[in-house]
Amino acid sequence: MVHLNSPLQESLYLEDTYLTGISSPVAATGRDEDGGAWVALRRNIFHPQGGGQPADQGRVGAYEVTPARHAATGLVVLRAGDGAGDGLGDLAEGDLVEARVDADLRLLHAALHTAGHLVEAAARAEGWNMTGNNHFPGQARIELTAPEAGGSLAGPGEREEAADRLRAFVSAAVAADLPVIAGRDPEGRRVIRLGDLHAAPCGGTHVRSLGDLAEVVISGVKVKKGRVRVSYSASHRPVTAGAVR
């Protein structure tokens, strides 16, 4: 499910990938079963793990935090790292705090997620259908079904030819610098569009246009038990001063 804003929390990470620092009131506080404290910000810039994308990392005040979706409330809550003691437990609803996301990690995650959509678009052009994805650094891959997986992709030569076609597709789209646009479908789901090339429901962070992608590398195509795995890597091009706020 692609989560929308709740009455208690704005999901700013869905609106602006490049917004990495804000002031925000605390929307809610609580404790886990083990007694560990968590806080939820009214203006939340932290992407929780989900949809194949890892969680942001960052800070609230002096504390390093990791976000996660809170099952009971649906809020994105922040928990302090090991060794922080009970620091977040001192915060109360309405307190104003400074929050900052690790900008380099945010841009890497956004590049990998957008590149994953682009690799899926290339695979669709081959007649393949996505069944799963992983956008984690060092593990990024798209899992697909392909009618010819046991036939024309059976040999290493055929798989390398298929990989070359995917590479050509991806390179052309990046060179065209197609816009990456977030919108809503008639059911209210957030949809990410790569120009007119590809569209998919998604709750991840993304680059502004495909020209922001650098070093998009498809390392290979593998077939196992009738499934096709396309492994890839990507990074974000250097950003100009002020582009990340």
Number of domains in the chain: 2
Q: What are phi and psi of 242, to 5 degrees?
A: 90, -10
Q: Whole domain around residue 33: which residue ranges?
A: 10-101
For position 143, which CATH number holds?
A: 3.30.980.10
Domain boundary among 54, 72, 101: 101
Structure-token match 């795995």, residue found = 229
Domain boundary among 101, 125, 147: 101
**Same domain assignment for residues 178 and 113:** yes
> pLDDT class for 82, splitting at 50, 70, 90?
low
> Is the separation of the CB atoms in 10 and 27 below 8 Å?
no
Q: What is the pLDDT of residues 140-170, one digit of tens each?
A: 999 999 876 655 787 888 889 999 999 999 9
**Same domain assignment for residues 46 and 70:** yes
- Give one word for 177, left, alpha or beta, with left for phi > 0 and alpha for psi -120 to 50: left
> Is the separation of the CB atoms in 234 and 112 below 8 Å?
yes
pTM, whole model, 2 decimals? Answer: 0.91
d(CA 152, CA 147): 9
